[in-house]
A and B are shown apart, each in its own frame.
Chain A
Amino acid sequence: MLEAKNLSFGYPRQPAIVDGVSLTLRPGEITGLTGPSGCGKSTLGRLLAGVLKPQSGSIQLAEPRGGVNPVQYLHQSPIFAVNPRWRIGRIIEEAWAPDEATREALGVSRDWYNRFPHEISGGELQRVAILRALAPEVRYLIADEITAMLDPITQADIWSFLMQRSREGLSILAISHDRHLLQRIASNEISL
C-alpha cells in the first residue's frame, strides 16, 4: 500500500502547485486522477514516484525503494523517455529482461529490438515504455496520460492489458482528462 499524507510541492517564487494532498493506492485497484490543466496532476504523480521530493508531507510505502523503484512513472510522450541513441532491445533491458508472455501480451514485437526509437510509431514506443516499467519489483504504476496521443484501438489494447495486470495485483494511478476513459477503468476517482 502506498499512503501519501498532506503532500505539498511548489516551484521557487511561485505558489505551491500541490498543496496538502492525501491519497492511498491499494494493490489491485486503478485510481483515476483528473482535474483541469496545470492543477498539479503530473507533479503529484512525480512526487509519488519519487522523481520529485515533497517539501512537506510524507509518503509511506510498504516496499523498499532501493534498486528498481516499486513506483514507476510513465510519461505521456514516450519519445522523451527513451535514449535516442539506444536501440529498443537495450532500452527495454535497461530495467529488466521481460518474459515472453508479458512481451507478447503487450504486443511488443521482437522485430523492433534492433531499431532506434524514431523508427517505430508512437503507439509502439508507448508499449515499449510500459513493458520496460513492469519489472517484477514494480507494484505501482503512475500512468500520466499514457494513451492521450494514441488511436482508440491502441488505447483499448493497452488499457485492457493494464486492467488484467491490475486484477493480478498491480496498483495503477491513471492520470487523465478523459472522464469517459476513467469511468471505464477506474475503481475510484480523485479530482484535484
Chain B
Amino acid sequence: MNHAVAPQAMNSLVIRSNNRISTLMLTALGLGGILLVALGSVLIGDRGITMDFSARMLAPSWQHWFGTDQFGHDMLARTLHGLSLSLNVGLITAALSTAIAVVLAMLAATGGRWADAVVSFLIDTTLGLPHLMLLILIAFALGGGTTAVIIAVTLTHWPRLTRILRAEILQVRSAEYVQASRQFGKSWWYIGRHHLLPHLLPQTLVGFTLLFPHAILHEAALTFLGFGLEPGKPAIGTLLADSMRYLMAGNWWLGLFPGLGLLLLVLSFDAIGNGTRKLTDPRLSEV
C-alpha cells in the first residue's frame, strides 16, 4: 500500500513547488538577458564600429565568436550594439504607447458615451488597417530616421492595450464588490485607489512589457525594409539587410547570429511579461 501512495504524494509536491519557482526563474532569466545586452553594449565601447580590413569575412572562431563582416567588424560586438539600439527604441515606444493607452482607456471608460464612441472608433480604425503598411506610411511620410521610427511604432501600437484597459475599468467599476464598497460608505477616490488600481497596474505593466517585443520587431522590420534607422547605425534590421547580399556566398553567420539575438531578446521580454502576469494574479500564482 505504501508503494501505491508514495509516488502520487511526491508527484503533487513536485508540481506544487514547480510552477511558481519556474516562473520566477524564467522571469529572472529574461531580465538577466536584457541586462546583459544593455551592459554589454556599454562595455565593448567602440568594438564593432571601427573597421579592420585584416580580419574581413572570418567565420566564427574563438577570437570572433560571431565571425566578422566585409569591413572586418566583429559581429558579436555589432549584434550587441544593434540589440541595445533596439532596446532603446523599444523602451521609448513602449512607454509612449502605454501612456497613450492609459489616457485613452480612462477617457473612454469615464468620459461618457461620446468619449467612448470616439475612442472605440479610433481603436477600430487603427486595428483595421494593415499594421506594417501603416508603419511604413508614417515612417516614410516623416522622412525616415530614428525619430520617424519611434513615432510610427508609437502611433500603431496603442490600440490593443487601450482595448484591454478600457474593458478592465468598465468591468471593475460595475463589479458587485465595488457596489458593496459604496454601501460601506467608501468614496470613489478610495475605490479607485484600492479596488481599481490593483487590477489595472499589473495589466498595464504586462501590457507595457509585451509591447516591447512588438515594437522591437517592427523597428527591425522597418529598418530591414529601408524605411527605418539610418543605414550607418548597427541596428539589427540593418545587419540582417546587409547579410542578404552575402548569405548566397555561404557567409551564414552574418544573418544567423543577429537574428538569433533578436529572437532571444524578444523571448526575454515575453518571459518577463508572462511571469509578471502569473505572479501578480493570486489565482494563477498559487496554482
Stretch at the interface among B6-14, B30-38, B171-179, B263-271: B171-179
Q: Which residue on chain A has the smallest CB distance to residue B185?
A: A67
| Interchain CB contact under 8 A, B282 and A85 | yes
| Interchain CB contact under 8 A, B184 and A84 | no
A95/B184 contact (C-beta < 8 A), A85-B198, A85-B199 known: yes
Bound complex: CA A189 to CA B175 (Å): 31
Q: Which residue on chain B has the smallest CB distance to residue A137?
A: B185
A51/B186 contact (C-beta < 8 A), A85-B282, A116-B282 known: no
Q: Which residue on chain A has the smallest CB distance to residue B199?
A: A85
Bound complex: CA A156 to CA B45 (Å): 76
CB of A105 within 8 Å of the partner chain: no
CB of B88 within 8 Å of the partner chain: no
Bound complex: CA A95 to CA B283 (Å): 24
Question: How big is chain B's contact interface, by range?
Answer: 10 to 19
| Interchain CB contact under 8 A, B184 and A69 | yes
Bound complex: CA A96 to CA B57 (Å): 74
Contact of B283 among A66, A68, A81, A118 (CB under 8 A): A118
Count of interface residues, chain A, beta-carbon cutoff 8 Å = 23
Q: Which residue on chain A has the smallest CB distance to residue B183?
A: A69
| Interchain CB contact under 8 A, B184 and A51 | no
| Interchain CB contact under 8 A, B195 and A84 | no
Interface string of A81-112 (1 = CB under 8 A from B): 11111000000001100000000000000000
Instruction: Kindly provide the distance from the CB of A35 to the nearest chain B CB, expressed in whole angstroms.
Output: 22
Instruction: Kindly provide the distance from the CB of A43 to the nearest chain B CB, expressed in whole angstroms.
Output: 14
Q: Which residue on chain A has the smallest CB distance to residue B283?
A: A118
Interface hub of A80, A83, A94 (most chain B Cβ within 10 A) = A83
A68/B185 contact (C-beta < 8 A), A84-B283, A85-B282, A116-B283 known: yes
Interface string of B272-287 (1 = CB under 8 A from A): 0000000001110010
Bound complex: CA A174 to CA B281 (Å): 36
Contact of A94 among B184, B281, B282, B286 (CB under 8 A): B184
Contact of B184 among A50, A80, A118, A135 (CB under 8 A): A135
| Interchain CB contact under 8 A, B179 and A51 | yes
CB of A72 within 8 Å of the partner chain: yes
Bound complex: CA A80 to CA B176 (Å): 6
Interface string of B98-139 (1 = CB under 8 A from A): 000000000000000000000000000000000000000000
Other contacts beyond A80-B177, A118-B283: 8, CB < 8 A: A67-B185, A69-B185, A73-B180, A75-B176, A83-B177, A94-B181, A94-B186, A118-B282
- Listed from nearest, the 9 A-B pairs whose CB atoms lie closest are A67-B185, A95-B184, A80-B176, A116-B282, A69-B183, A81-B176, A83-B177, A68-B185, A81-B180
